[in-house]
Amino acid sequence: MTENIDKKELKILADILALVLENEPGQSANALETLKKRAKKNMVTGGAIKNIFYSIAENPPKPETKPSSRSRKSTTNNADLIKARSQITSLTQDINRLDTVIRSLRVQNESLRSELLLTQQSRAEIQSVLYSNQAKEPFKKILGIIFFICGLLIGIATTAIYHSVSSTPPPNNSIYLN
**Phi/psi at 111 (nearest 5 deg)?**
-65, -40
For the chain, the domains span: 2-62
- pLDDT at residue 1 tops 50: no
115-146 core/surface letters (b: 16 or more CB in 10 A; e: else)? eeeeeeeeeeeeeeeeeeeeeeeeeeeeeeee
Contact at 8 Å (CB) between 10 and 61?
yes
Q: What is the chain's mean pLDDT, rounded?
A: 79
Contact at 8 Å (CB) between 43 and 61?
no
Q: What is the end-to-end Cα distance of the chain in Å, rounded?
A: 170
Q: What is the largest CA-CA distance in the chain?
A: 171
- pLDDT at residue 178 tops 70: no
What is the per-residue pLDDT across 122-147, written as a single tens digit (0 to 9) for each? Answer: 999 999 999 888 877 778 888 889 99
Please give the C-alpha separations between residue 173 and each of 19, 161, 163, 164, in angstroms, as whole numbers.
Answer: 142, 22, 17, 17
Interatomic CA distance for residues 74 and 91, integer angstroms: 25
